[in-house]
Amino acid sequence: SIEVSSCRMLALVDTVPTSCVFVCDAFYDTLSTSGYFFALKIAQRDPTDYVHKQAATISSYYVFGLVLAAPTFLAGRLVRAALDGRSLAETTYSSLASFVDPVALIYYGTSVSEILWFLPALLFSFLFVYLFILLGVPTAALPVALGFHVVGLLGGTYTMFLEVPFEIRDALFFGFFYTSLGFTIAARDWRPSTDRSRLYLGLTLGFAILQLVELYVLGYPLRGEPFGAYVYAPSYGITTALFTASLFIYLLSRPKLGVDTPLPSWGKYAVGIYVTHPAVFAVIRAVRDTLEHVGYTVDELIVWHLLLTPMLFYLSYLVYIAADKLRVIEIGGTHFPGRPWLRAMRSG
């Protein structure tokens, strides 16, 4: 597809998330991209077959991420417990109990690492859109998803208007909307014109500024706090959807953007690096905590913060490549841990 290079670039931007709101926007744009290709693919094949294939792929990535993250996160918690003088047995029990919490594990994707929430959100978002396809009303998916998204916004960022007594950063309140948005754009066969790409870019920049203004107002004036009194770092606002949609449309209007750069070729590693980096980050954090316990406060060094993201990215990439070389997973194929090795053993 002509949109692949731009979408791979977006996936790469999205790989190692930080607290920056614009990286969270990249998550949402990735959901829109997935919904867009969902509509394109089912125009040529049975939607049930496509959903089954995507469910298997997403699940394999998620299981791979869990297999890496669970032992490293447990080890990190044990290190911190030992440094703080807390019971290692109690820490192990409470950690394992939280790891297997069924709702957090299967639906929210936060039982082991909150970073992995995106994969279950993507899977269930596919299933929600697929439900509307089965019901014969795919055009109703976006309006219904918008209603849930408004509730999610009010219950997450605009809590002064509505308090929601449960987690709302999930497939139903967020992923469903962005996935159905991309799906609807493709289903209606709307291809943004290259001639209007400057307009779309201008809208993207304008909504980006509006998003910063919105979050500033929410974080400080409405709370009666001076700017800088504390760190206010939400993941979304009302303008987030506008910024995400305009960025996605801009990328569709520039299908060859970045095609002559190395970025599109790196896109095939994006999801793998994403699911690998929580485990790598847990190891880095455990090393940092140990160093600080013995008197080396590396967290106060500027160089530490400058090197942290590139170090995390490249170490995650190396772990991902090593997993492929050891046949734990297969880049471009299954990511269910050990399946490539078992297949090789059976073939002799």
Q: Mind listing the pLDDT tens digit of every residue in the chain (348 residues)?
A: 333 433 443 444 444 433 344 445 677 888 898 999 999 999 888 999 999 999 999 999 999 999 999 999 999 899 889 888 999 999 999 999 999 999 999 999 999 999 899 899 999 999 999 999 999 999 999 999 999 999 988 887 777 777 777 788 889 999 999 999 999 999 999 989 999 999 999 999 999 999 988 888 887 777 677 766 665 666 688 898 999 999 999 989 988 877 777 776 777 888 899 999 999 999 998 888 888 888 888 888 888 888 988 999 999 999 999 999 999 999 988 899 988 888 877 776
**Structural domain boundaries, residue 11:** 4-346
Number of domains in the chain: 1
What does the alpha-carbon distance between residue 32 and residue 36 come to, in Å, rounded to a whole number?
Answer: 6
pTM above the 0.85 mark? Answer: yes
The predicted pLDDT at position 8 comes to: 45
The answer to whether 111 and 104 are in contact (CB under 8 A) is yes
What does the alpha-carbon distance between residue 73 and residue 75 come to, in Å, rounded to a whole number?
Answer: 5
The answer to whether 22 and 205 are in contact (CB under 8 A) is no
What angle, rounded to 10 degrees, do the helices at 270-293 and 4-13 form? 10
What does the alpha-carbon distance between residue 245 and residue 222 come to, in Å, rounded to a whole number?
Answer: 27
What does the alpha-carbon distance between residue 139 and residue 187 come to, in Å, rounded to a whole number?
Answer: 9
The answer to whether 339 and 331 are in contact (CB under 8 A) is no
What does the alpha-carbon distance between residue 291 and residue 66 come to, in Å, rounded to a whole number?
Answer: 27
Instruction: Report the alpha-carbon angle 228-233-237, nearest 5.
Output: 120
Q: Which two tokens stand for residue 267?
A: 């896109």
The predicted pLDDT at position 166 comes to: 79
The predicted pLDDT at position 130 comes to: 97
The predicted pLDDT at position 167 comes to: 81
What does the alpha-carbon distance between residue 189 and residue 191 come to, in Å, rounded to a whole number?
Answer: 6
The predicted pLDDT at position 158 comes to: 79
